[in-house]
Amino acid sequence: MSNVAVIGSQWGDEGKGKIVDWLSEKADVVIRFQGGHNAGHTLVVNNVTYKLKLLPSGIVRKNKISIIGNGVVIDPWALLDEIKQLEKQGIKITNKNLYIAENATLILPLHKELDGIREDSKNTDKIGTTRRGIGPAYEDKVGRRAIRVMDLANKDNLSKRIDMLLFHHNSIRKSLGKKKIDKKKIIRDLEKISKNILKYSKPVWKKIEEFKKKRKKLLFEGAQGILLDIDHGTYPFVTSSNTVAGSAFAGTGCGPGTINYVLGIVKAYTTRVGEGPFPTELKNEIGNKIGIRGKEFGTVTNRKRRCGWFDAVLVKQSCFISGINGIALTKIDVLDQIKDIYVCVGYKLGRKKIDYLPSALKDQFRVRPIYKRFNGWMKTTKGIKKWKDLPENAKKYVSFIKRYCGVKISSISTSPKREDTILLENPLKK
Ligand code: GDP
Ligand code: IMO
Ligand code: MG
């Protein structure tokens, strides 16, 4: 039996949702372990599109358990809206198929507001966040003043916790010239929704322990991507959680032995939303063409994603940092009509050649890509389901990525649809 972690291996939006949905046919439990509703995971099933933010992608399938682990930051209002939206699309969500960790941190409206204030301020670097309050909520978690799911169950305790939180936030707000937060209003607002959230709440680590004993197959669904990791990403242009596979253990409460296969989701080119360094960015016609063909607009914020060539240096680095056992390569069809395709195989930093992205931000902005050229295949790969049917030049491109990164290619995705996937090795069957 094999439990799998699906990890975005670039700057997010690699197609994790599609791959998790596809793999979840063979899994019993799908688990989110970090991030929040900054994530936007798209699934296309029988021509119906689902956009998931907080809910694990397994939720659309019958007879699967979906878990939101303690490492996730939960905006309870956003979660209830998302549940409603999916119910409108015919998905049944009850406390039998959705569990939420009782020790997960909540995102409150004050977090969202602070995120926006910082983004709009002229005094700090704009990160280009999703403005969902993700960063401020994680700060409060680490600052030991967060409100957690189980706090909703006890009025006295909730009141005390909110005092602690507001002691901190109201002093910041005062210095920013913002109105004090009204404690009574927060409590009233939380009371209105607490029953609806608490009904899903459980000690999920214990549930996972039970599932492990019953040898159920677990699928851990990462959000964002390794280059957005708070430690290993392009800091400070990152999200506020660890996005690497190692985060799955702390973010759910299961030991490192639980995961037997780390599947890195890798887009056949590179995209990024928000600010920050992007060595292979194409600010030209080709970049636009990739963006249009790939429909590269943010699932959450609808912002235009920046597009560029495949950066093999970064993906190789991600593979090592996250212990990736196999790559699921996505969106190869987007490159179908490009005559000359380039892959970054090294950087120049001044006169020096280097084979990794340095951690100093200044250098990350300064590196110049060294490219290797590939002949495009100029044929459609859309919907191909077998390796043998890929054009020769596409095979060469994929084989190079495998060789350069030193990691097997487990699958190749050729359209947004669940079934349009070339399977080379099923991680869940190993
Ligand atoms: P995630 O955040 O990693 O789950 O990715 P998103 O859902 O934000 O963005 C990926 C986008 O690409 C979605 O619109 C998917 O429907 C789409 N997609 C996924 N795989 C493929 C593929 O192989 N080809 C094409 N053309 N689109 C894909
Ligand atoms: P999925 O799971 C792409 C980016 C934001 C911003 C930075 C910090 O769909 O791949 P945050 O709101 O997290 O504080 O923003 O991280 N970002 C993502 N980019 N895909 C995502 O999620 C992202 N989640 C956050 O654009 O640059
Ligand atoms: Mg996304």
Could you tell me the CATH number of the domain that includes residue 412?
Answer: 3.90.170.10
Instruction: State the chain's mean pLDDT as an integer.
Output: 96
Give the model confidence (pLDDT) of 236-252 as tens digits.
999 999 999 999 999 99
Whether 142 and 217 share a structural domain: no
The verdict on 147 and 240 lying in the same domain is no
Among the bound ligands, the one closest to the CA of 41:
1
Please state, in angstroms and rounded to a whole number, the distance separating the CA atoms of residues 362 and 142: 28
Domain count for the chain: 3
Q: Probe ligand 2: pick from 130, 221, 266, 307, max atoms within 8 Å of CB?
A: 130
- pTM summary value: 0.97
Is 13 assigned a catalytic role?
yes
Residue 241's domain spans which residues? 4-101+201-258
- Which value, in Å, is the radius of gyration of the alpha carbons in the chain? 22
Q: For residue range 61-115, list pLDDT tens digits in order.
A: 999 999 999 999 999 999 999 999 999 999 999 999 999 999 999 999 999 999 9
Verify that 403 and 355 share a domain, yes or no. yes
Strand, helix or coil for residue 372: strand
Q: What is the mean pLDDT of residues 206-227?
A: 97
| Dist. CA 13 → ligand 3 center (Å) | 4
Cα torsion 47, 53, 58, 63: sign:
negative
Ligand 2 pocket, 273 CB below 6 A? yes
292 and 229 share one domain:
no
Q: Ligand 1: which residue has its CA nearest to atom 12?
A: 15
Q: Which residues, 6+ apart, have CB-to-CB distance to 101 below 8 Å?
A: 67, 68, 69, 70, 72, 149, 201, 202, 203, 204, 205, 252, 253
According to DSSP, the residues that pair with 375 across neighbouring strands are 340
State the pLDDT at residue 123: 80
pLDDT, residue 109, reads: 98
Band of residue 430 on the pLDDT scale cut at 50, 70, 90? low
Write the CATH number for 190. Answer: 1.10.300.10
Examine the fold and report which residue of 211, 228, 258 is the final residue of a domain before the chain moves on.
Answer: 258
Confidence grade of residue 281 (pLDDT, cut at 50, 70, 90): very high
Do residue 355 and residue 233 come from a single domain?
A: no
Judgement on whether residues 90 and 129 belong to the same structural domain of the protein: no
What pLDDT, on the 0 to 100 scale, is given for residue 122? 84
E strands of 323-388, at which residues? Answer: 326-330, 340-349, 352-354, 368-375
CA dist., res. 309 & res. 312, Å (int): 9
Tens of pLDDT along 124-177?
A: 789 999 999 999 999 999 999 999 999 999 999 999 999 999 999 999 999 999
Residues 139 and 28 in one domain: no
pLDDT band at 394 (very low <50, low <70, confident <90, very high): very high
Domain of residue 57, CATH code: 3.40.440.10
Please determine, for residue 333, whether its predicted confidence score (pLDDT) is greater than 90. Answer: yes
Number of residues written out for the chain: 430
Give distance in angstroms: CA of 353 to centre of ligand 3.
33
| In a shared domain, residues 74 and 160 | no
Does the beta carbon of 56 sit less than 6 angstroms from any atom of ligand 2? Answer: no
* 156 and 250 inside one domain: no
- Give the residue from 214, 239, 258 where a domain finishes: 258
* Mean pLDDT across 313-322: 97
Quote the CA–CA distance of 383 and 420 in Å, as a whole number: 5
Say yes or no: 298 and 345 in one domain: yes
Distance 330 CA to ligand 1 centre (A): 8
Is the pLDDT at 323 greater than 70, yes or no?
yes
Nearest CA to ligand 1 atom 27: 416
Picking from 213, 231, 258, the residue at the C-terminal end of a domain is 258
Query: Residue 300: pLDDT above 90?
Result: no
The C-alpha atoms of residue 189 and residue 125 are separated, in whole angstroms, by 32
Residues 302 and 351 placed together within one structural domain of the fold = yes
Spell out a b/e string for 396-426, using b for 16 or more CB atoms within 10 Å of the CB, else e. ebbebbeebbebebbbbbbbbbbebbbebeb
* Active-site residue, from 21, 37, 41, 140: 41
- Do residue 405 and residue 293 come from a single domain? yes
